Amino acid sequence: MKARSNKWGARFVLGIIAVIFMVSFALAQGSPYDKAIEAYAKKDFTTAVKYLKEYVSQKPDARSYYLLGYACYKIKNMEESAKYFREAYLIDPAFDPKTIKFEKK
């Protein structure tokens, strides 16, 4: 009986450790927006476009669309750039790009 109790306790502790590890790993991955901002800061606009597209499909906002448009502009994709700039201003006609702060969400 005592051997079963020890096995259960060991499994429980290992289970808790596994859950903590998975949660910390998930948090370390960062959101698509965070990854986009990191890529944008490194001037890796192709990667920034990839993550910003993922982000705006989940949470469209004027700032993210503007950044997506500018990243497309930097990789010389003018047609897509114009599309995303329009989208930013359709979401928020009073949007001002000067208000963009490069911080993680």
**Domain ranges, ordered by start, for the chain:** 1-30, 31-105
Fold that domain 31-105 belongs to in CATH: 1.25.40
Q: How confident is the model at residue 76 (pLDDT cuts 50, 70, 90)?
A: very high
- Tell me if 74 sits within 8 A of 90, measured CB to CB: no
Residue 85, amino acid: F
Q: Which residue has the higher pLDDT, 96 or 71?
A: 71
Could you tell me the CA-to-CA distances from 34 to 19, 41, 54, 64 in Å, in that order? Answer: 24, 11, 11, 11
pTM of the model: 0.69
Q: How confident is the model at residue 21 (pLDDT cuts 50, 70, 90)?
A: very low
